[in-house]
Amino acid sequence: QETARPLLTPGEVMQLPPDEAVVMVSSVAPIKAKKLRYYADANFKRRVLPPPALADGQYADAPPLRPDDWSGLAIPSVPAALAAASADGLENLGSADDGGPRRQPELSETVAYDSELAAPTADLALLDDDDDLPLPLPRQLDPAMQRSARLASLDPNDGIEL
């Protein structure tokens, strides 16, 4: 009994010289071919163009700047009713009875303070680097700062680093 053996095994394909390749096209048998470096071949060398020379300053083919609708706007002030409602951390922008949206924090945003971590009892405990606990977050983020961060992310060229 004879078994069919591939003309090139996968290992032989991986070990092909750098100037050879196997070309695979749909419904055609694989072709073992020599690679052509068009920039080094004498037949194609006359088609190779030099790289473009870049000029300093504005490029002639750069598109014109489009107007920005957001950077010129002032940040609107937050009404006192919304500021008072968000101060307690629970924002009710409509009651549950009238079907309005209701936001509640699911988890506590504060970290409980553990007095055992405050003072090490032994000298060797001073050498432990396990005290890299995250800092507690403020109870409620400032709405004006949140709006500023959103506006800053809309315009990457406004000079405000994120």
- Collect the ranges in the chain with pLDDT lower than 70: 1, 81-140, 160-162
Residue 140, class by beta-carbon neighbours within 10 Å (0-12 exposed, 13-18 middle, 19+ buried)? middle
pLDDT of residue 23: 92
Is residue 33 within a helix (H) or strand (E), and if so which, with residue range? Answer: strand 31-34
pLDDT of residue 84: 65
Question: Which pTM was predicted?
Answer: 0.28
Q: Where are the domains of the chain?
A: 10-47, 74-90+136-155
